[in-house]
Chains A and B, each alone.
Chain A
Amino acid sequence: MQKQKIAIVSLTSCEGCQFALLDLGQKFLDLMNEVEMVDFRLLEDEEDAGEKLDIGIVEGNPTTEENIETLKKLRERSKFLVVLGNCAAMGGVPEIKNYQEQKNTIKHVYKYVQGIDNPEVKEVDNFVKVDFTFPGCPITGEEFLKYFPELLEGKIPTIPDQPVCVECKKRGNRCLLLDKKPCFGPMIQGGCDAVCPTSKMMCQGCRGLRPTANVKAMRATLKNFMTDEEFENTTEIFGLRDDIEEKNNK
Chain B
Amino acid sequence: MQIKLNHINKIEGHAGFMASVLSGDVKSAKIEVKEGIRLIEGILVGRHYTDMPIVAQRICGICPVVHNLTSIKSIENAMGVRVSNEAVNLRKLLELGQIIHSHCLHLFFLSLADFLDIDNDLKLVEKYPEETQKAIKLREYGMEIVKIIGGRVVHPLTNEVGGFKKVPKIEEVQKLIKQGEEALSTAFEVAEFFKGIKLPRFERETEYVCMDARGEYAIYDGDLISNKGLHIPVLKFEKNFHEFQRPKEVIKRVESDGKTSYMVGAIARVNNHHKKLNPKAKQYLDSLGFSLPDYNPFHNVLYQMVEVVHSIEESLRMLRLLINSNLENALTKKYEVREGSGAAAVEAPRGTLYYHVDIDSKGYVKNVNIISPTAQFLSHLEDDIRKYLPEILNLSDKDKEKKMRAFIRAYDPCISCAVH
Q: How far is the CA of A222 from the CA of B12 in the complex (A)?
A: 39
Q: Which of A12-20, A127-135, A146-154, A157-165 contacts B (4 or more CB under 8 A)?
A: A12-20
Judge whether A41 is part of the interface by a CB distance below 8 angstroms.
yes
Q: How far is the CA of A196 from the CA of B45 in the complex (A)?
A: 25
Judge whether B10 and A43 touch: CB under 8 Å.
yes
Judge whether B82 is part of the interface by a CB distance below 8 angstroms.
no
Judge whether B151 and A199 touch: CB under 8 Å.
yes
Using known A-B contacts A44-B120, A64-B34, A233-B47, determine if residue A201 contacts B157 with beta carbons closer than 8 Å: yes
Given B36, B51, B157, which contacts A61 in the complex, CB threshold below 8 Å? B36
Judge whether A97 and B43 touch: CB under 8 Å.
yes
Q: Which of B60-68, B200-208, B264-272 contacts A (4 or more CB under 8 A)?
A: B60-68
Judge whether A92 and B151 touch: CB under 8 Å.
no
Judge whether B42 is part of the interface by a CB distance below 8 angstroms.
yes
By a CB distance below 8 angstroms, the chain A residues around B143 are: 23
Q: Range of interface residues on chain A?
A: 35 or more
Judge whether A201 and B151 touch: CB under 8 Å.
yes
Judge whether A195 is part of the interface by a CB distance below 8 angstroms.
yes
Q: Which of A49-57, A110-118, A208-216, A242-250 contacts B (4 or more CB under 8 A)?
A: A110-118
Given A12, A100, A107, A108, which contacts B36 in the complex, CB threshold below 8 Å? A12
Judge whether B37 and A116 touch: CB under 8 Å.
yes
Judge whether B61 and A116 touch: CB under 8 Å.
no
Judge whether B61 and A195 touch: CB under 8 Å.
no
Judge whether A37 is part of the interface by a CB distance below 8 angstroms.
yes
Judge whether A138 is part of the interface by a CB distance below 8 angstroms.
yes
Judge whether A26 is part of the interface by a CB distance below 8 angstroms.
yes
Judge whether A137 and B155 touch: CB under 8 Å.
yes
Judge whether A17 and B46 touch: CB under 8 Å.
no
Judge whether A178 is part of the interface by a CB distance below 8 angstroms.
no
Judge whether A67 and B36 touch: CB under 8 Å.
yes
**Chain A, residue nearest B67 (CB):** A14
Given A16, A66, A198, A201, which contacts B34 in the complex, CB threshold below 8 Å? A66
Judge whether B62 and A15 touch: CB under 8 Å.
yes
Judge whether B136 is part of the interface by a CB distance below 8 angstroms.
yes
Judge whether B248 and A115 touch: CB under 8 Å.
yes
Using known A-B contacts A43-B122, A46-B120, A106-B37, determine if residue A16 contacts B245 with beta carbons closer than 8 Å: no
Judge whether B157 and A195 touch: CB under 8 Å.
yes
Using known A-B contacts A15-B13, A93-B58, A97-B43, determine if residue A116 contacts B122 with beta carbons closer than 8 Å: no
**Chain A, residue nearest B151 (CB):** A199
Judge whether A166 is part of the interface by a CB distance below 8 angstroms.
no
By a CB distance below 8 angstroms, the chain A residues around B60 are: 14-16
Judge whether A22 and B35 touch: CB under 8 Å.
no
Q: How far is the CA of A94 from the CA of B37 in the complex (A)?
A: 9
Q: Range of interface residues on chain B?
A: 35 or more
Judge whether B350 is part of the interface by a CB distance below 8 angstroms.
no
Judge whether B125 is part of the interface by a CB distance below 8 angstroms.
yes
Judge whether B139 and A25 touch: CB under 8 Å.
yes
Judge whether B416 is part of the interface by a CB distance below 8 angstroms.
yes
Using known A-B contacts A96-B43, A110-B245, A233-B48, determine if residue A17 contacts B122 with beta carbons closer than 8 Å: no
Judge whether B119 and A46 touch: CB under 8 Å.
yes
Q: How far is the CA of A92 from the CA of B60 in the complex (A)?
A: 13
Q: How many A-B residue pairs have CB under 8 A?
A: 178
Q: How far is the CA of A63 from the CA of B38 in the complex (A)?
A: 8
Judge whether B179 is part of the interface by a CB distance below 8 angstroms.
no
By a CB distance below 8 angstroms, the chain A residues around B12 are: 15
Judge whether B154 and A100 touch: CB under 8 Å.
no
Judge whether A41 and B9 touch: CB under 8 Å.
yes
Judge whether A1 is part of the interface by a CB distance below 8 angstroms.
no
By a CB distance below 8 angstroms, the chain B residues around A83 are: none
Q: How far is the CA of A117 from the CA of B35 in the complex (A)?
A: 10
Given B55, B64, B166, which contacts A200 in the complex, CB threshold below 8 Å? B166
Q: How far is the CA of A17 from the CA of B58 in the complex (A)?
A: 11
Contacts of A66-96 to chain B: CB distance below 8 A: 66-67, 92-94, 96
By a CB distance below 8 angstroms, the chain B residues around A115 are: 247-248
Judge whether B153 is part of the interface by a CB distance below 8 angstroms.
yes
**Chain A, residue nearest B101 (CB):** A23
**Chain A, residue nearest B123 (CB):** A44
Judge whether B155 and A109 touch: CB under 8 Å.
no
Contacts of A1-18 to chain B: CB distance below 8 A: 10-18
| Shortest CB distance B334–A (Å) | 15
**Chain A, residue nearest B132 (CB):** A29
By a CB distance below 8 angstroms, the chain B residues around A221 are: none
Judge whether B232 is part of the interface by a CB distance below 8 angstroms.
no
Q: How far is the CA of A94 from the CA of B55 in the complex (A)?
A: 9
Judge whether B59 and A14 touch: CB under 8 Å.
yes
| Shortest CB distance B37–A (Å) | 6
A-facing mask of B38-57, CB < 8 A → 1, else 0?
11111101111001001100
Using known A-B contacts A15-B12, A20-B154, A138-B154, determine if residue A97 contacts B42 with beta carbons closer than 8 Å: yes
Judge whether B158 is part of the interface by a CB distance below 8 angstroms.
yes
| Shortest CB distance A206–B (Å) | 9
Judge whether B121 is part of the interface by a CB distance below 8 angstroms.
yes
Judge whether B36 and A117 touch: CB under 8 Å.
yes
Most buried by B among A105, A106, A233: A105
Judge whether A179 is part of the interface by a CB distance below 8 angstroms.
no
Given B37, B48, B64, which contacts A16 in the complex, CB threshold below 8 Å? B64
Q: How far is the CA of A116 from the CA of B389 in the complex (A)?
A: 30
Sample 8 A-B pairs with CB under 8 A, ordered by A number.
Answer: A14-B416, A45-B10, A45-B405, A61-B38, A109-B39, A118-B39, A200-B158, A237-B51
